[in-house]
Structures are given as structure tokens and as C-alpha cells.
Amino acid sequence: MANTETFKISAALKDLIGKELITDEFVAVFELVKNSFDANASKVEVIFENNYEPDNARIIIKDNGKGMNYDDLKNKWLFVAYSAKRLGKENEDYRDKIKTQRVFAGAKGVGSFSCDRLGRFLNLITIKDESKPKIENLVVNWEDFENADDEEFVNIKVTHKVLTENAYKLKKGTVLEITGLRDNWDREQILKLKKSLAKLINPNQENDSDNFEIEIIAKDELALDKEKNKKGEKKNDLEIVNGLVRNSIFETLEIKTSNILVQISPKGDYIETTLQD
């Protein structure tokens, strides 16, 4: 007589689909910001605090998207490999719009583990855009999974509670507070991130129906930003840390590309072509 069996999943799965799969810290932040876009956020703030104090440094990703309730947390965020996009239960995902060649973790429903790639601890605060919303809070210590390879994945607990208030004064949206950072985020690193995030911004702002903004906030870099602004480097956004992320691809092309201007005469009897360098 044949018996049926099921797979057992080690807690080590967390590393396989987290920090070992998402090997680039820039991709991890990119994925989390893109998730905010998919949640219909119009603005995302990527905040760096105490980035020159490793023990106190933290990254905060805050959006004003549709947020999550307890059911969303339990049946989507905590449901490994669940993808509302793949199941046709979500609006068009931004990864379809940008048609990126890179396969991000979120495409397989494991975007939540981008938080693990960035830091050892996560404090998630979220409020869903609905009547009588609650302030949902989820606390994850990723080290609990790392110290229990012989434990089954489903037996490692995370903490959920409902808050009575939140420091961010959210009306709707999600905040990810990531601490115990795995990487040092100095000025050069944040500028590289800013360049990466520019891919998510429509370069043609006049026709940007999405109205999506990303803002970098790093108080430790304000003084140097101010100094560079005084030196006239303000025009180069990629040298300034704080502020909105811009996609300046059109400006770059205008600088580096020769333009051909073609004009037809009013009567249509000849064509005039001008090469502009």
C-alpha cells in the first residue's frame, strides 16, 4: 500500500530566497520601492539615519500606497512565493511597464525577503486604505531563522500586534524600518542607489500619468549637499544626495547625441535637413 508524504522545509530557506538570492543591496531597495509603486503609492521616501554609526544606522522606506490589513499580512506578505500579479489578483505590475531585463525577486513573490538582504531586523507598520483601518505592526528578527537550520520554516514565529498610534502619522500606506544593516551606506553608496532608482521614474514628466515620486532623505549628507550647491554643482542631480530622484536620460542624450532636424518647406516642394551637435 502506497503512502503519501510531504516536503519539510528548513528555516534555512530564508537565506536561499533572501540574502543569498538578492546579492545586491541596490536591487533589494529597488525591489521594495517598486513594491510601493505596485501598491499605488504616489510617493516613496527612502530615509537613511545614522549612516555613519553602524550600530545605530537604519533604513526607512515609507510610502503612501494602499497599505495592508491583517488578512493581507497573513495571506500575502507572510505567504512565501505568493504573487497577486501572477494569480491575476492585482493591477498591472510596474515590472511590465519598465520591461526590465533583470529578474527581480518580487517577480516570484519573495520581495519581502529584500528586507532580509538589507538588515537583520524589520519593523513593519502599515495601514490599509479602507473604512475603520487598524495600524498593523509586524516585527521580524531574521536571525531567528539563521540560528535554527534544523527547525521547520513554518515553526519560526514573527510578532504581530495592532498599534494605537504611529510616529509617522500615516493615514494609509506602509513603513519598513530596517536595522542591523548588512552594508555600509556612505555617500557614494547612496548616490549609486539614487542612480539605480532613477529607472523607476518616467523621464517625460509632462506625460507622467502615474505621478510617482521617490525622495532620498539622508540628514548626515545635508552639509555636503549644501556645499556642493554653493559650488554650482546643483545642476548635476547625481552629485546631490537629498531630494527627489530624477530620470535625466533625455538631458544626457541631448548632451551626448547629435540631432538631425528635418523640416518640410511650407509648399512641400523641398526638405531641409540640419545636423546639430
Integer angstrom CA distances of residue 66 from 58, 92, 130, 207, 220: 24, 15, 9, 23, 30
Mean pLDDT along residues 64-88: 84
Concatenate the DSSP letters of all residues of 45-71 into one string: EEEEESTT-TTT-EEEEEE-S----HH
What is the CATH architecture assignment of 13-247? Answer: 2-Layer Sandwich (3.30)
Mean pLDDT along residues 206-212: 64
Note the pLDDT of residue 220: 97
pLDDT tens-digit series, residues 4-24: 998 888 988 888 888 788 889
Residues for the chain: how many in total? 277
pLDDT tens-digit series, residues 96-153: 544 443 334 345 566 789 999 999 999 999 999 999 999 999 999 999 988 887 889 8
Q: Where are the domains of the chain?
A: 13-247
Count CB-CB contacts under 10 A for residue 229: 13
